[in-house]
Structure 1
Amino acid sequence: MLGLKQVHHIAIIATDYARSKAFYCDILGFTLQSEFYRAERDSWKGDLALNGQYVIELFSFPFPPSRPSRPEACGLRHLAFSVDNIDQAIAHLQAHGVTCEPVRIDPYTDKRFTFFNDPDGLPLELYQQ
């Protein structure tokens, strides 16, 4: 048996490290656990936590190639976050200049959800529990 226990982290490469760090920390509410500049790669690496649990490894690299970011592109479709109140979460994002798609209803669970993008266009989802 492989013995997987949980997702350890998600790695994200940002075109503008400072802007993405501010987005994930100041707007989404992650906390910066540690941060390193790796001179040999001209790259920043930040470890971000959500509610005390390490979740996102945020990187910068010089001139990263573009990647399809629409939810229907092949590969990772999106990163979803659960929230208790989607209307409050959307209002918070909108107050910080983040545009959300219209709220939809999951046809299988009857739960409400919406999509928005990080500074590099990575599709993110809010899913009401």
Structure 2
Amino acid sequence: MQLKDPLLKTHHTAICVNDFERAKAFYIDFLGFTLEGEMDHRDEAALGEVVGLPGAVIRWAMLAHGPHRIELFKYYTPQGDTQARRQCDFGYSHFAFQVEDVDAVYEQVIKAGYKTTAPPRSLRGGRSRVIYVTEPEGAITEFIQLSPDA
């Protein structure tokens, strides 16, 4: 069954992090997001109810780039699993940004000291060229260049 009212647009992607400052710097200083809002030790009861973790206490920020946002969370309480997820692990695995020149992005990634899972690779018979960047805490961000006829 489909939703009765259509979705308006994509709003944000939420990411839970261990080192809040390092993650925030990746999105702001390297990817060019801007800070829309930030709160430390956010503990409103409704938040714990919404996320299904009563008593949750978090550090929070909303970062924007064009129409999309990244919502950063650092949980003080409860303490969660701090290990990075593999792409084959259950649940969301990564998100992607479309770019004009993935090879140029790759050079910037390497120059900035970030790691990739592999150098840029062409996929789908040359219709796309991609890299997976390992963020400071191990999460993956994909950069994808689409061929004009893709």
TM-score tier by shorter-chain length is 0.7 to 0.9
Deviation of 1:120 (Å) = 1.5
Unaligned runs of 5+ in 2: 44-55
Identity over aligned residues, as a percent? 30
CA contact 1:116–1:124 (8 Å) conserved in 2: yes
Q: Which whole-Å deviations, capped at 9, do the CAs of 1:56-78 have from their partners, x for residues lacking one?
A: 11111123313552212111121
Which residue is 1:60 aligned to?
Answer: 74
TM-score, scaled to structure 1: 0.87
> How far 1:36 moved relative to its partner?
1.2
User: Structure 1 pair 111/54, CA: closer, same or farther in 2 (3 Å)?
Assistant: closer
- How far apart are 1:117 and its partner, in Å? 1.2
Matches of 1:19 and 1:68 in 2, distance apart? 15
Partner Cα separation in structure 2 for residue 85 and residue 43 of structure 1: 37
The runs of 4+ residues in structure 1 deviating greater than 2 Å are 38-43
TM-score by length of 2: 0.76
C-alpha displacement of 1:109: 6.0
- Contact 1:47/1:54, CA 8 A, preserved across alignment: no
2:121 corresponds to: 104
* Structure 1 residue 125 corresponds to structure 2 residue 111: no
What SS is found at the alignment partner of 1:21? helix
The number of aligned residues is 128
1:14 deviates by 0.7
How many angstroms does 1:124 deviate by? 1.2
The alpha-carbon distance between structure 1 residues 74 and 39, as it changes in their structure 2 partners (threshold 3 A), is closer
Q: Does 1:49 align with 2:64?
A: yes
Q: Which residue of the partner structure matches residue 34 of structure 1?
A: 37
Secondary structure (helix, strand or coil) at the match of 1:37 reads strand
Q: Which amino acid aligns with 1:32?
A: L
RMSD across aligned positions (CA) = 1.9
1:25 aligns with 2:25: no
